[in-house]
Amino acid sequence: MNTALIGLQWGDEGKGKISHYLSDQFDVFVRFQGGGNAGHTIYHEGEKVVTHFLPVGIVHKDKVCVLGNGMVIDPDALIEEVKDVASLLGESVDDICQRGYISNKAHVVTPQALSLDAQREETQKLGTTKTGIGPTYESKINRTGVTVGHILQDTSSSRYREFLSRFHGRIVNTEVLLNRLDSLGREIFFEGAQGVLLDVDLGQYPFVTSSNCTPAAIGTGAGFPMSKVDRVIGVTKPYSTRVGAGPFTSEMSDQEDEHFRHLGAEFGATTGRPRKCGWLDAFALRYAVEVAGVTEIAVAKMDILNGLDFVPVCVGYRIDGVEVRDTLNFPYGDQWDRAEPIFEDWRGWDDEGGHAQFLVQLATFVGAPVKHVSFGPGPEATQSS
């Protein structure tokens, strides 16, 4: 079954861990949006591996990984990542490169884009990851961007020599490759980055990333029709975190925030920044499930809230004194500044996994079944039903 996996919150939901846990079932792993802003952490055979550009399926020797046309790629940073992954897995850099394919249409994050991102942050203060995402997508849409195909053709420059020689023969029309692999019956896994609330169209604009983070981006960012994707797994934590600026309606008190940040090791995998912590915003989750066409939910990091008798959950907002509980009225723009959370206490779970009631309540509230639950960092701590 071709499967998409996406984040339902503000990124950092544990997508890497769930992707890794499921990875045995698939032959091909695809990234279709974003770039070095992503940070997917997994524990593979005892090693902690963090990927930014590569799908987590890269840890498997016999599988194919694709960096799709919708991505923005910093060739230098990608080569560094490949070297790190190779050394952690005890393989050669060429072994890793030779199981990847890169779209000739993906855009290149140039040194200028990196410095522009950092420079703009001085005044714009969105809290970007400073990995060149905004300026690179901007020049793509402007039609002044540089693609991987461009640098491949440019024989006069030696700027990206190592990147081009390492990926010799691997820079192709990945959209055609993916559709052919599908015709041959290969099972394809599309690994989303960031989350629905950071989606440039459907998220909390302007406090968003510059790409689409819903499965809709698979059609454009991988050239693979959504009609051939059989299921969409949405990942959430049983609480919320957010890095960077922007609305965070269900934010915890300072004391709770401090406690859960350390308990959940909530520090950015890309930037190391502390993540703000909040209670689960089930109302926002319902919106995300609805607009992303989620068919099943994975809840990661359940263990972090182990043992609470009751878990506060945000089930709607109050805006200018009016209760909002229908996602048709989900806030936009400045409305977010005035949105106050409406909390309900949901029954918690114990350390032995007596969690069914919370998960049933969650599934009913958001409108999709919970199929995967994770109680710890390694793949053995995740269960499916």
Residues that bind ligand IMP (CB under 6 A): 10-12, 37-39, 126-129, 131, 133-134, 193-194, 198, 209-210, 243-244
The active-site residue out of 12, 199, 257, 303 is 12
Identify whether 40 is a catalytic site residue: yes
Q: Which is nearer to ligand IMP, 192 or 331 (CB)?
A: 192
40, 16 Cβ separation under 8 angstroms? yes
Q: Which is nearer to ligand IMP, 11 or 223 (CB)?
A: 11
Angle at 114 between CA 113 and CA 116, to 5 degrees: 60
218, 32 Cβ separation under 8 angstroms? yes
Q: Please give the Cα distance from 277 to 10 (Å, whole number).
A: 11
User: How far apart are CB 129 and ligand IMP at their closest, in Å?
Assistant: 3
Q: Please give the Cα distance from 35 to 210 (Å, whole number).
A: 10
Comparing CA positions, the residue from 241, 238, 303 lying closest to residue 269 is 241
The active-site residue out of 20, 40, 44, 355 is 40
Q: How many CB atoms lie within 10 A of CB 377?
A: 18
Q: Which is nearer to ligand IMP, 120 or 186 (CB)?
A: 120
User: How far apart are CB 209 and ligand IMP at their closest, in Å?
Assistant: 3
User: How far apart are CB 349 and ligand IMP at their closest, in Å?
Assistant: 26
51, 67 Cβ separation under 8 angstroms? no
User: How far apart are CB 257 and ligand IMP at their closest, in Å?
Assistant: 16
Q: Which is nearer to ligand IMP, 2 or 129 (CB)?
A: 129
3, 235 Cβ separation under 8 angstroms? no
User: How far apart are CB 339 and ligand IMP at their closest, in Å?
Assistant: 18
The radius of gyration computed from the CA coordinates of the chain, to the nearest angstrom, equals 20
Q: Please give the Cα distance from 327 to 336 (Å, whole number).
A: 14
Give residue for tokens 């915003």.
281
Identify whether 12 is a catalytic site residue: yes
Q: What is the DSSP string of 70-119?
A: TBEE-HHHHHHHHHHHHHHHT--HHHHHTTEEEETTSEE--HHHHHHHHH
From the number of C-beta atoms within 10 Å of its C-beta (0-12, 13-18, 19+), residue 292 rates as: buried
3-state secondary structure of 216: helix
- Give the residue nearest to ligand IMP (CB): 244
Q: Which is nearer to ligand IMP, 122 or 320 (CB)?
A: 122
Q: Is the CA virtual torsion 61, 7, 276, 373 positive or negative?
A: negative
Q: Which is nearer to ligand IMP, 125 or 161 (CB)?
A: 125
User: How far apart are CB 345 and ligand IMP at their closest, in Å?
Assistant: 28
User: How far apart are CB 207 and ligand IMP at their closest, in Å?
Assistant: 6
Q: Which is nearer to ligand IMP, 10 or 167 (CB)?
A: 10
Q: Which pair of structure tokens corresponds to residue 316?
A: 């709607």
Q: Please give the Cα distance from 20 to 298 (Å, whole number).
A: 13
> Catalytic site residues?
12, 40
